[in-house]
Amino acid sequence: MGFYRPDSGGEIHFHGRRIDDWSVARARSLGIETVYQERALSEKQPIWRNMFMGREPRTRWGLIDVKRMRSESARLMSEHMGFTSAAVHPDNVVTTMSGGEKQGVAITRALYFDAELVILDEPTMGLSLSETKKTLDFVSGIKKAGKSAIFIDHNIFHVYPVVDRLYVLDRGKVAGVYAKSEITMDELIDRLYRVARSGSMD
C-alpha cells in the first residue's frame, strides 16, 4: 500500500521535480499542507497550541514564542475564520468547539503557513449542513488566494461546486479525468454509477 510512498510504478512530482523522501517536514518545506479527515488536532490543548503544532515559533533565546502564538491565533480566528463566539478564544481547548469550528482550525492552520498546495482529505466528514458550506467556502478561498488544492471526497455534491478538474478513482486506479467545463453534474453522476458497477466510466 502507498503509505508515505507511492505504490510501485507510481511517482510523485512537485514543480516538475520527482520527490521520494517524503516526511511531514519535507512536505512543509515544499509548501504542501494537509487537512486530515480526523483533523489532526490535540483536543485537550488550547487553540494556540494546535495552530502551531510541530513548528512552534521560537524567540531568539530558543524558547517558544507563546505570546506570538496566542496573538497570531486570535488574529487568524477572527480575520480568516470570522469566529466571534466565546468558544474560540485562543486559550480555549479544542474539545469545547463544534465540528465545523475544529475543521476551521485545521484549515486555517494549513493556509496560515503560506502553502502552495493544500490537500484536503474528506474535510466535510461529520459536519452539519451550514458547517459544510463554510468549509466549502474555505476551499474556494484557497483558489481565490492563488493557491492549489487537492480535495478528496466521496460526496460529489460537495466536490463539484468548488473544483476545476475532477479525477475519478476506482479500485485504486484513475478511472477518468474531466475538466468541470466538459461535464455536467448529472452526466458525472451517471458515469459514477456506471464505474461503480462495471469498473469503466464509458
Which parts of this chain interact with another protein (CB under 8 A)?
23-25, 28, 34, 36, 38-45, 49, 53-56, 58, 62-64, 66, 74, 77-78, 83-89, 91-92, 95-96
Nearer to another protein, 126 or 176 (CB): 126
CA 118/CA 161 separation, integer angstroms:
17
Nearer to another protein, 58 or 165 (CB): 58
Residue 89 C-beta: closest distance to another protein, Å: 5
Nearer to another protein, 96 or 148 (CB): 96
CA 54/CA 57 separation, integer angstroms:
10
Residue 168 C-beta: closest distance to another protein, Å: 26
CA 3/CA 87 separation, integer angstroms:
36
Tell me phi and psi for residue 162, to 5 degrees: -105, -5
Residues with Cβ within 8 Å of residue 58, at least 6 apart in sequence:
64, 65
SS3 38: coil
Nearer to another protein, 31 or 176 (CB): 31
Residue 86 C-beta: closest distance to another protein, Å: 5
Question: Given 3-state DSSP classes, what are the helix, strand and coil percentages for the chain, each rounded to the nearest 5?
Answer: 45, 15, 40
Residue 2 C-beta: closest distance to another protein, Å: 16
Residue 61 C-beta: closest distance to another protein, Å: 9
Place of cell 476551521: 104
Nearer to another protein, 110 or 139 (CB): 110
